[in-house]
Amino acid sequence: MDDLGFAALSDGTRRTIVKALRDGERSVGELVDVAGVAQSGVSRHLRILGEAGFVQVRADGQRRLYSLRPEPFQQIDAWMDDYRRLWEGRLDRMGRALEQRRADHEREDTA
Amino acid sequence: MSERTVTIERHYPADPAEVWELWTTPEGIEAWWGPDGFAVQVHALDVRPGGTMRYSMRAVDDHIAAYLRSQGLATETTHEIRFVEVVPYRLLASRHPVDFVPDVETYEVGIRLELRPDAGGTRLRLVLDTMHDQTWTDRAVAGWEQQLDRLAHTLQEGR
């Protein structure tokens, strides 16, 4: 995940558009209704999302339909995974430390 | 440096990606580039170091067009600028030929756009080379201030 990818998701209007596309393809007109901004603004946000690889477009007759591409989301997930592992390892060690303390206390109590 | 450049700073309530879009795509540039009363059309655009943008500017305001004709000037002109540094969402440096001043040999001015995120949006810094005399530098600065107002207006549409 590069800077452009994170920058693409750094804007609230663009996150609203991404959220709307989770349910499937949408036209610009439908996204204008959801995002509540002018069509030129939605088009601009779609270009930014497209350049970062989040969104693709296909023609359906006269209409152009936008949808999400899975790849950048998989990249974010892989990036998050490193941190998840780090924290899981840390939490496992904390769990072992708790076990150890309890075992120590029980020994003291029975002694 | 300070004597050879003029710096204009603005804040926009939009993120740097959106401001960058308006500087680097034909749709974006056509929405705000150029002085009031003119329409811009982008014919070629290659935003890379060494790449160029070719565009034409046409007077769409009747009064401006009539004035230009009365002065024996064209109502539509074509321009080409060259990009020298490109860092997406951050830096766009370009060279602009000055070939429209009577009795002054063609030369180039550099224009450097710097964007950085700040609270609630983007801090834009535009560093312009001064021109061959103060009058033309003042005109260029006034022109850019007008364009940056149009840019602000265009950005409103994405909010």
Reported ipTM = 0.71
Which residue in chain B has the smallest CA separation from A9?
A: B17
The model carries a pTM of: 0.81
Contact B111, B127 (CB under 8 A): yes
CA–CA separation, A14 and A20 (whole Å): 10
Cβ-Cβ contacts under 8 Å, A37 against chain B: 157-159
Percent of the residues in chain A that have a pLDDT greater than 90, as a whole number: 70
Q: What average pLDDT does this structure show over B11-39?
A: 93
Are A84 and A103 in the same domain? Answer: yes
- Name the nearest CA neighbour of B157 among A7, A15, A42, A12: A42
List of domains in chain B: 5-156 (3.30.530.20)
Are A20 and A57 in the same domain? Answer: yes
- Name the nearest CA neighbour of B48 among B87, B80, B20: B87
B window 27-66, beta carbon within 8 A of A: 27-28, 31
Are A90 and A57 in the same domain? Answer: no
CA distances to A21, B20, B156 from A46, rounded to whole Å, are 11, 14, 16
Are A78 and A63 in the same domain? Answer: no
Number of domains comprising chain A? 2
Chain A interface mutation, best of B12, B19, B21, highest count of A Cβ atoms under 10 Å: B21
Interchain contact, B89 vs A3, CB within 8 Å = yes
Name the average pLDDT for chain B. Answer: 93
Are A14 and A51 in the same domain? Answer: yes
Which one-letter amino acid corresponds to residue A67? S
What is the predicted pLDDT for the residue at B3? 58
Q: What is the DSSP string of A38-77?
A: -HHHHHHHHHHHHHTTSEEEEEETTEEEEEE-SHHHHHHH
CA–CA separation, B8 and B4 (whole Å): 14
Interchain contact, A40 vs B159, CB within 8 Å = no
Are A8 and A58 in the same domain? Answer: yes
Are A14 and A58 in the same domain? Answer: yes
Are A50 and A78 in the same domain? Answer: no
pLDDT at residue A2 tops 90: no
- To the nearest whole Å, the CA of A56 is away from the closest chain B CA by 17
Confidence of residue B1 (pLDDT cuts 50, 70, 90): very low
Residue B82: beta bridge partners?
Answer: B52, B95
**Matching residue, tokens 């009365």:** B70
Higher pLDDT, B65 or B3: B65
What is the predicted pLDDT for the residue at B14? 94
Q: Provide the residue range defining the domain that includes A89.
A: 70-111
Q: What is the pLDDT of residues B83-140, one digit of tens each?
A: 999 999 999 999 999 988 888 999 999 999 999 999 889 999 999 999 999 999 999 9
Are A27 and A38 in the same domain? Answer: yes
CATH number at A50 reads: 1.10.10.10
Are A40 and A93 in the same domain? Answer: no
- Name the nearest CA neighbour of B31 among A39, A69, A48, A73: A39
Are A53 and A23 in the same domain? Answer: yes
Are A34 and A76 in the same domain? Answer: no
Q: What is the pLDDT of residues B72-86, one digit of tens each?
A: 888 999 999 999 999
Q: What average pLDDT does this structure show over A77-81?
A: 89
